[in-house]
Amino acid sequence: MRSIAETAAAVRAGTLSARALAEETLAALATDTHVAVTRVLHERARAEADAVDAMVAAGRDPGPLAGVPYGVKDLFDLTGLPTTAGSTLYADALPAATDAEAVARFKAAGAVCMATLNMDEFAYGFATINAAYGTTRNPHDPSRLAGGSSGGSAAMVAAGLLAFTLGSDTNGSIRVPASLCGLYGLKPTHGDLPLAGVFPFAESFDDIGPFTRSIAEMSLVWQVLGGREPAGRGDFRVACLGGRFRENAEADQLAAIDAIAPDAPLVELPEIARARSAAFIITACEGGALHREALAASAMAFDPQVRDRLIAGALLPDTLYEEAQAFRAEYRARIETLVADYDVLLAPATPTFAPSIADPRIAIDGALSPARADLGIHTQPITFTGLPSLAVPLYRPGALPIGVQLIGGPGRESDLFAFAAKLEAQGIIGFSMPLGAAQGASA
């Protein structure tokens, strides 16, 4: 399987045609069965690939992602297309006048945008169960969920059909599907990566980030998005999150965390339940306010499960929202002080493996709970702090994937990449291609 860097190098050298690579990928996407693609971008992909090949022929460097095929969650603006955010409500909206800033940066780096990808409607869920576009299937076991809300983005990378993808993470919507699909998925420091041209969910928490199959690829894509070189340290002060983070987790996750840092102290974040409740309130209020007008005009056009949660959020009193935001500001300051002595914090990414599509529930505190709401039990409190968090896959060939979170200080993504590279070299973490998965454009 070629890496992103190897693919780009071959295209720049002229030994691999970006157009041929695009045609191969378009053909594979047209027959994919993971219910992960909402639109295949035939004309755009061919035009971008041809532009890359023309630059190579002219002796110019197309960029570090030359010819590399990728896709975006269906809430990024793409010139000439309506931005649907996974909803039929906006299927006939006015087309975007320009690309989202993140997409523009990838285009400038030579990447070729192939498709828009399935998601929970308006990114409200952890499962990618979409009433209009269907439920995305996990490439490791098509009878199981891919996670969400960026499930389509995760599934296409895990299946080997796209080299990398873009998702968004409000309360865990990148890290959850990364864990369930066995990928690397980044939620950056809040506000660190460009959100211009991204359909919002809850502004207080929204971030964008990539999915990749290796930490080197993650670092490369992050550099293009963020415009700076990684500069991680060599020695790491590591701690493990205790308390609620040791509950509702798989034995394999806890064993891996303990093996990674056997002498690390356990750090317990205070008031986790209150933090998660406040996150739910802020998310619900901001989501409800954003869609209030559309709900009043066309409530029945919404996915029923999303509609009911948005209506509930729209009805919450302003005083409750203000109280939750005040608590968040105070809480973030406390957590940043608490974790200042450490470079990396370890925690589970999801409480369990990918649940069944037929029965999308998971065990939380001994009782069954909807996966759509509670797969983010370990990611949501981290989002609340605004800290960067990288989901990394435990290396488990032939088994269902599951991941852990590497959490760092504000603006310290480079530390997370460097620490992940160390774990990857030791064989503790790493991507495993699903049995029988298609070998896609970067293979």
Which residues are marked as active site? 73, 149, 173
Number of H helices, E strands in the chain: 14, 17
Structure tokens of 218?
């993650």
Please name the helix (run of DSSP H) or strand (run of DSSP E) that holds residue 324, with its range, or none: helix 318-338
| Residues with Cβ within 8 Å of residue 20, at least 6 apart in sequence | none
Q: What is the DSSP letter of 76?
A: B
Q: What is the DSSP letter of 247?
A: S
Q: How would you class 86 by CB atoms within 10 Å of its CB: exposed for 0-12, middle for 13-18, buried for 19 or more?
A: buried
3-state secondary structure of 239: strand
Q: Is residue 37 a contact partner of residue 31, using CB atoms and an 8 Å limit?
A: no
Question: What's the sign of the alpha-carbon dihedral 406, 389, 380, 338?
Answer: positive
Of the candidates 159, 173, 181, 178, which has an alpha carbon nearest to the alpha carbon of residue 208?
173
Of the candidates 415, 413, 389, 386, which has an alpha carbon nearest to the alpha carbon of residue 190?
386
3-state secondary structure of 81: coil
Residue with tokens 């500069």: 231
Q: Is residue 320 a contact partner of residue 281, using CB atoms and an 8 Å limit?
A: yes
Residue with tokens 């370890």: 346
Please name the helix (run of DSSP H) or strand (run of DSSP E) that holds residue 289, with its range, or none: helix 272-298
CA–CA separation, 157 vs 141, rounded Å? 15
338-374 exposure pattern, b = at least 16 Cβ within 10 A, e = fewer? bbeebbbbbbbbbbbbbbebeebebebeeeebbbbbb
What is the biggest distance separating any 2 CA atoms in the chain, rounded to whole angstroms? 63
